[in-house]
Amino acid sequence: MHWSDEALVLGARRHGESGVVLELMTREHGRHLGLVHGGRSHKLQPVLQPGNSVHATWRARLDEQLGTYTIEPATSRAARLMTSPLALYGIATLTALLRLLPERDPHPDLHAMAEALADHLDEPDLAGPLFVRFELALLTELGFGLDLASCAATGATRDLAFVSPKSGRAVSAAAGEPYRDRLLPLPGFLIGQPRGNRPSPQELDHGFALTGYFLDRSLYDPQGQHLPDERARFVALAIKQAE
Amino acid sequence: MSRSVAGPEIERLIQLMARLPGLGPRSARRAALHLIKKRETLLGPLSDAMRVAAERVVVCRSCGNVDTSDPCTICTDAKRDPSLIVVVEDVSDLWALERSGAVPGRYHVLGGVLSPLDGVRPEHLNIEGLVSRASEPGVGEIILALNATVDGQTTAHYVTERLSHLPLKITRLAHGVPVGGELDYLDEGTLSAAIRSRTAF
């Protein structure tokens, strides 16, 4: 068995004295692990940092085996990300969220979004809004997508202002007003606000609160886990830098 | 299945030595045989040294270094600058910096770095001890000598946040071209870091 694919490095765990078990988010093969002989060498260690993109070739005798990777660097982002705390907490959160995906289950769209997000994690204007959109896409890919196209009560497609925490569907401002303390605010940048417009810190806060609520309720809480600590630090910095 | 070529005592010695870094079963067998051949000059003194080390080695309650006294030799060295604390991930990093002879101050060993993959969280590291030491009067600078990896630098930023309320100068090691390094062989990330951190010549 063997294949080659593009991938984002999620992390590497030591294996023996010189090897590592590498975790990649590949384009066609999903989140996939494999052994890298000599992965702790001076040559490979900088390449196998989370956030870098690589060309990976995986080989194994049987499909169900861990297999071994041969790695070639494609895009080195780690050194740039290291200069920004926002980017570092962002990459830690991004890799933690991608670990929610089952192994070897292809999610090419999510891979593309993760690559784009990794490219912009050190840009305060883009990192926050892109991250909220990535979390929405992750929820959708895992079967817990939100329906933000029309109002759950009236069917209206305009003036949407809330999200129902029960159904995950949008609610218009008029229909939601009597229940506003029980609904989650829906920030404008998620529903048609022109792309050039920068979301306000409050909108960003609402965006992260929205995705955080559903990530916790649908994915983390059922497993007895909490949202990663790094996410809270990333959100705090993203909101602070949006001010 | 391979048969034992020696008694259980020697087999046990070989098994234990094979668990040391850098030694596999074959090299452990060779090393054990070498020790046995040099019984008087090597095996005896080595076993005595190991017994003494096992009895006396303690972790310094102040900095996390390993030594035979608590506080350790470095913490009690009056010649060291008490205003400077160098934060390292592990004792091996402390020893590496000591070999360089470039650190006039004292150290603080965190005992690891934050790692979501391995489940290492701030409470698993000796960060509270660092905040407590950094709050002592007379401390003026903290050097974050952590690895230039994503996990190492995430930890460095987290430590910086935790110390931000204190009137301290917080610095980190430079990133760039190593001595003897050829530009052609360096990864793009290191080269960009080197260009960004360039100094007047």
Tens of pLDDT, residues A98-135:
999 999 999 999 999 999 999 999 999 999 999 999 99
Residue of chain A whose Cα is closest to the Cα of B190: A79
**How high is the pLDDT of residue B116?**
80
Tens digit of each residue's pLDDT (9 = 90 or more) over A200-210? 999 999 999 99
- Asked whether the beta carbons of residue B188 and residue A85 sit closer than 8 angstroms, the reply is no
Residue B1 within any structural domain of the chain = no
Q: How far is CA A175 from CA A162, A167, A187, A203, A239, in A?
A: 9, 15, 17, 20, 29
Residue type, B45: P
User: Following CA atoms B94, B100, B101, B107 in sequence, which dihedral angle do they give, to the nearest 10 degrees?
Assistant: -20
Question: Which residues 178-197 of B are in CB contact (within 8 Å) with A?
Answer: 187-190, 192-193, 196
Please tell me whether residues B22 and B98 are part of one structural domain. no
Domain count, chain B: 2
Query: Which residues of chain A are within 8 Å of residue B175 when distances are taken between CB atoms?
Result: 79, 82
Tens digit of each residue's pLDDT (9 = 90 or more) over A153-196? 898 888 899 999 999 999 999 999 999 999 999 999 998 766 55
- Asked whether the beta carbons of residue B148 and residue A233 sit closer than 8 angstroms, the reply is no
The tokens for B5 are 């070529």
Residue of chain A whose Cα is closest to the Cα of B120: A229
- In this complex, which of B21, B118, B122 lies closest to A17 when CB atoms are compared? B21
Residue B140 within any structural domain of the chain = yes
**How high is the pLDDT of residue B2?**
62
Residue B3 gets which letter from DSSP?
P
CA dist A9 and A138 (Å) reads 18
Query: What residue ranges of chain A are covered by domains with CATH 2.40.50.140?
Result: 2-76
**How high is the pLDDT of residue B71?**
93
Tens digit of each residue's pLDDT (9 = 90 or more) over A21-79? 999 999 999 999 999 999 999 889 989 999 999 999 999 999 999 999 999 999 989 98
Tens digit of each residue's pLDDT (9 = 90 or more) over A86-96? 999 999 999 99
Query: pTM of the predicted model, to two decimals?
Result: 0.88
Q: How far is A71 from chain B (nearest CA, A)?
A: 14
Coil, strand or helix: which one is B187?
coil
Residue B41 within any structural domain of the chain = yes
Please tell me whether residues B24 and B111 are part of one structural domain. no
> With an 8 Å Cβ cutoff, is B170 touching chain A?
no
Return the CATH superfamily for domain A2-76: Nucleic acid-binding proteins (2.40.50.140)
> With an 8 Å Cβ cutoff, is B15 touching chain A?
no
For residue B126, what is the domain's CATH number?
A: 3.40.1360.10
Q: How far is A112 from chain B (nearest CA, A)?
A: 21
Q: Is the pLDDT of residue A219 over 90?
A: yes
Please tell me whether residues B38 and B130 are part of one structural domain. no
The tokens for A202 are 């409050």
CA dist B94 and B105 (Å) reads 12
Are A190 and A133 spatial neighbours (Cβ–Cβ below 8 Å)? yes
User: What are the DSSP calls for chain A, one per residue?
Assistant: -EEEEEEEEEEEEEETTTEEEEEEEETTTEEEEEEETTTTSTTTTTTTSTT-EEEEEEE-SSTTS--EEEEEEEE--HHHHTT-HHHHHHHHHHHHHHTTSPBT---HHHHHHHHHHHHHTT-HHHHHHHHHHHHHHHHHHTT---B-SS-TTT---SSEEEE-TTT-BEEEHHHHGGGGGGSEE--GGGTT--TTSPPPHHHHHHHHHHHHHHHIIIIIGGGT----HHHHHHHHHHHHHH-
Query: Which residues of chain A are within 8 Å of residue B112 when distances are taken between CB atoms?
Result: none
**How high is the pLDDT of residue A194?**
61
For residue B28, what is the domain's CATH number?
A: 1.10.8.420
Q: How far is A209 from chain B (nearest CA, A)?
A: 21
Show the domain range for B111: 66-200
Alpha helices in B70-199 (DSSP H): 73-76, 91-100, 127-134, 150-163, 188-196
Which of residues B180 and A4 earns the better pLDDT score?
Answer: A4
**How high is the pLDDT of residue B172?**
94
Q: How far is B41 from chain A (nearest CA, A)?
A: 30
Please tell me whether residues B98 and B190 are part of one structural domain. yes
**How high is the pLDDT of residue B81?**
96
The parts of chain B modelled with pLDDT lower than 50 are: none
Residue B42 gets which letter from DSSP?
I
CA dist A35 and A61 (Å) reads 13
Question: Which residues 193-212 of A are in CB contact (within 8 Å) with B?
Answer: none
Please tell me whether residues B99 and B52 are part of one structural domain. no
Please tell me whether residues B77 and B131 are part of one structural domain. yes
> With an 8 Å Cβ cutoff, is A85 touching chain B?
yes
The tokens for A233 are 């630090």
Residue B149 within any structural domain of the chain = yes
Residue B2 within any structural domain of the chain = no
Please tell me whether residues B70 and B43 are part of one structural domain. no
Query: Which residues of chain A are within 8 Å of residue B150 when distances are taken between CB atoms?
Result: 49-51, 78, 81-82, 88, 91-92
**How high is the pLDDT of residue A126?**
92
Q: How far is A109 from chain B (nearest CA, A)?
A: 23
Residue B113 within any structural domain of the chain = yes
